[in-house]
A and B are shown apart, each in its own frame.
Chain A
Amino acid sequence: MSNRVVQRPRWLAYGLPVFLLVGLLLQACVPAAAPAAQEPAAGEASEEAASNVTVYGTELPADARPYDEQVYRVAANINQSASTFDFPVAVYNRYCLADLFQDTLVSLDKDFNVIPGAAESWDVSEDGKVWTFHLRPGQVWSDGTPLTAYDYEATFRLTATPEHGWDFSWFYSFLADGGIKNWSKIIAGELPPEELGVRAVDDLTLEVETEDVFPPLPGVMKFAFTLQKKALEEHGPYYNSSVETSVSSGPFVLAEFDPGNKIAVEANPTYKGYRPPLLKRIECTFMDPSTFFAAYQNGDIDVVGYGALTPADFELILRDETMSSNYLRHFGDFRTDYLLFDTFTEPFSNLDVRKAFAHAVDRENIVASVYGEIKAMPAYSMLMPGYPSSDTEGALRAYQNFDCDLANEHLAAAGYPGGEGFPDQVMMLRGEAPAMAAVYQAVAASISSCLNINMEISNVDRKIYMDALNAKPTELTFGAVDYGMDFLDPANLLGNVWKSGGRHSWKNDEFDSLVTEAAGMVGNPELRDQMFRDAERVLVDDVGGIFIAHRWAGDLMQPWVQGTIRDPDSQGITGWHWGNDQDIAQIYISE
């Protein structure tokens, strides 16, 4: 035994560390970022002529690389939990490359107009409550089964089944009048799923009945995804999580499935829908978001979303001409950052206090220096310019603009001259990352220095925040939050979000009646638009919230990624557009 003790330390004490150190030093000398360049294939020019046709027989654009090289590479957040590809299974828990295995009933164009998707047309009944969608004939699943309205019906019933516990089931209750008939009762187990207001009439006809008149319903059918009824019955809702059982009626089929490592899809040769893709393959590699940008710089991935870019990354992008011209800034989901309060209790029940706060936020400077203009624009109201009924003219600016003197007048009128006697405030944040936490620190500093009051910031985790916010009565006195739209109609961002009884502890009868009436209005789009505009004016004037900034989203693309994704919409905005399912099919890889 003593021999062993003697023997071990000799090499352990000398050999190993020397080996390790030498190894480490040697590796340290290797430059880390050896760019794995995208080398244009030189000798393949002769084959090109024959290989520039897709599986659908479409010819690729002239500057495109051969069809075999039409591979689009994206990255997935390895830390994010995911359990399914399918929206009807779990909305908040989807893998990358989700939503490519089926077409939703409708899609949106670049200007957010509802256009046909899997349904080629639709019409509404006399009473405005029953919508009939007509599917495109000839659509099939990749196993040869025809795609029918019964697939959609089965999928909707699944999502409403109480045992399924769908994480998006709140949505159709949240739509209130626009909700699907009997949704809430089925969720509560009071009615069987067969009573749901979604019915297949025949193979190509699907009826959707709403609780009450709801004109924006076709837009909501952007969420009408479908699973295959047959596969659902044979393998259960997770059938897409395996190459063998996966079936697709969308433009791509599952080719490789190794979550945590790599997922790949390939063009679906049997696809008969409205968006046959130019790409042959999309690969999704799982990495940590912090390495996305480095991978992009290495040429390993073709796109990085703005969420994965740190402030330092943005600095580097702005300094680089190629990168900054390939950063496609877009609306994202029309997200607005705002402050909210409990207006039912002191001190924020006092309108003057709310106005004082609203006028104390120096948005322009905060956006210019803390957010950076590439990421946000100052907000004076809820709807981001570009969203339906939004205040593109700046008519609402004056209600919440930065004016410290005016702010102090309001505070004095509220009985706290010079901030005297105003209770110390804690601004709650919803688990914000450093960049957004910095923004709200600047907001808090702006308010506290202008009004001479004390303010701390408590950045709590999302669950605690939402628990406090959603409690009735609310446990959130003062906080900051953001909201991105669920569907493209002011009935969502004004109605669902701000109507009393929802997430905010603010109540204004005029506002409530305006949005309720406008939401269900048919036949008079101008009046409807004007009513929403009036409602938003009430919102900012009564300071239901203090609007800080509208968030610009964006994607950093490789220069060789081409297609309609680079075309501007009518407002000159390029890049990805919410609800637009066509651009992905038009992406191709150029030389």
Chain B
Amino acid sequence: MTVSAATRLDVAPPEERRHRTLWHDAARRFMRNRLAVAGLAIVVFFLSLAVFADLVAPYPYDRVYYDRVLRFPFELAGHPLGTDEVGRDYLSRLIYGARTSMTVGIAVQMVALVIGVPLGSLAGFVGGRTDFFISRFIDIMTAFPGLMFSILIISVWGGGITKVIFALSITSWIGIARLTRGQILSLREKEYVEAARCVGVSRNRIILRHLLPNALTPILVAISFGIPAAMFGEAGLSFLGIGINDPIPSWGKMVGVSNAYVRVYWHLALFPTVAVALSMLGFSFVGDGLRDALDPKMIE
């Protein structure tokens, strides 16, 4: 599979020569990394579950069968993973749960990107008082206990998927901002930036065309780790019973509820935990693979 994927990339029509080699090399390195490919497969699998849940899931996530409450896997035909405490197909809820997790994970990181990158670049490039204020702001935000802060926020504004995304976003951008600032700080002293500045290129253009593209790699890696972190955050809040509204399924909520049933109904705990673990592993492998693949030191 690795080989065929690499070959396919090889024959892809060349568009812009200089860019092609960079990404081409990275893709090839990535594809040689077996764990990364496995991780990518997992991520693609869960993403497609999330996107095509309506087609894949055997039942709607909220269809209740009163005569099928708390059945074990394979006890009834048509419910391979059994049913939950309300009599809903567990497999279907697991599949729709992927949609919740992915939505939250990706949305939170998008927010982080939109807030963190501009703030970080501003601090790094402008420096001086701007940098001072932004950095202190970042310091203060770091000191806030993230999870408790999210609980408080949700208590103020209520639960639901958008509120959860909002609550998690409040602290998610900090790492990205700090990272971007560091990257810009080190890049702006580089010769080609000096050169561009000497030629009279505008500040915005320097940031957008020269600094950000070069800072992009570590940000990309950070995002790939940030998605599972946000999924974890959602799972955690839902586990505590203050995240996603019923009847929308969420893996974390399924784990949290299963705590009361686990002594007898083990399947309620087993499947969502496996789903959480697998998706986390998948994203981490992809993140590791990306970092290795995009690391200039790895070019030999």
Contact = CB atoms under 8 A, between A and B. Distances in A.
Interface of A: 310-313, 315-316, 362, 365-366, 368-370, 426, 433-435, 437-438, 440-442, 444-446, 448-449, 456-461, 464
Contacts of A438: 84-86, 257
Contact of B246 (A310, A369, A441, A449): A441
Given A370-B69, A441-B64, A461-B155, A310 B263 contact: yes
Contact of B260 (A434, A441, A445, A464): A434
A369 B159 contact: no
Q: Which of B64, B70, B155 has the most CB of A within 10 A?
A: B64
Per CB-CB distance, the 3 closest pairs between chain A and chain B, nearest first, are A457-B246, A365-B66, A445-B64
A312 B66 contact: no
Given A310-B263, A441-B246, A456-B247, A464 B155 contact: yes
Nearest to B241: A459
Given A435-B85, A460-B159, A444 B263 contact: no
Contacts of A440: 246
Contacts, number: 91
A521 B69 CA distance: 48
A44 to B, nearest CB: 37
A315 B69 CA distance: 13
Interface in B249-280: 256-257, 259-265
Contacts of A444: 246-247
B263 A316 contact: yes
B265 A312 contact: yes
Contact of A370 (B87, B246, B247, B261): B87
B248 to A, nearest CB: 7
A458 B159 contact: yes
Given A310-B260, A311-B70, A369-B87, 15 more contacts: A362-B66, A365-B67, A369-B69, A370-B85, A426-B245, A438-B84, A442-B64, A444-B247, A445-B64, A448-B62, A456-B246, A458-B245, A459-B159, A460-B159, A464-B155
B17 to A, nearest CB: 52
B35 interface: no
Nearest to A448: B62
A349 to B, nearest CB: 24
A1 to B, nearest CB: 32
B245 A315 contact: no
Nearest to B66: A365
A191 to B, nearest CB: 38
Contacts of A460: 158-159
B66 A368 contact: yes
Nearest to A365: B66
Given A368-B66, A458-B160, A460-B158, A442 B260 contact: no
A302 to B, nearest CB: 21
15 contacts: A311-B260, A312-B265, A365-B66, A366-B66, A369-B69, A370-B66, A434-B261, A435-B85, A435-B260, A438-B84, A440-B246, A441-B86, A448-B62, A458-B159, A461-B242
Contacts of B203: none
Contacts of A312: 260-265
B158 A458 contact: yes
Interface string B23-37: 000000000000000
Given A369-B69, A442-B64, A449-B63, A313 B263 contact: yes
A365 B67 CA distance: 8
B63 A445 contact: yes
A323 B86 CA distance: 25
Contacts of B245: 426, 456-459
Interface in B83-112: 84-87
A324 to B, nearest CB: 15
B65 to A, nearest CB: 9
Q: Which of B66, B67, B155 has the most CB of A within 10 A?
A: B66
B86 A445 contact: yes
A461 B262 CA distance: 24
A52 to B, nearest CB: 40
Contacts of B264: 312, 315-316
Contacts of A441: 62, 64, 86, 246-247
A65 B148 CA distance: 52
A413 to B, nearest CB: 26
A311 B84 CA distance: 12
Contact of A437 (B248, B257, B262): B257
A311 B261 contact: yes
A208 B241 CA distance: 46
Contacts of A437: 246, 257
Given A316-B263, A369-B66, A434 B85 contact: yes
Contacts of A435: 85, 260
A5 B66 CA distance: 65
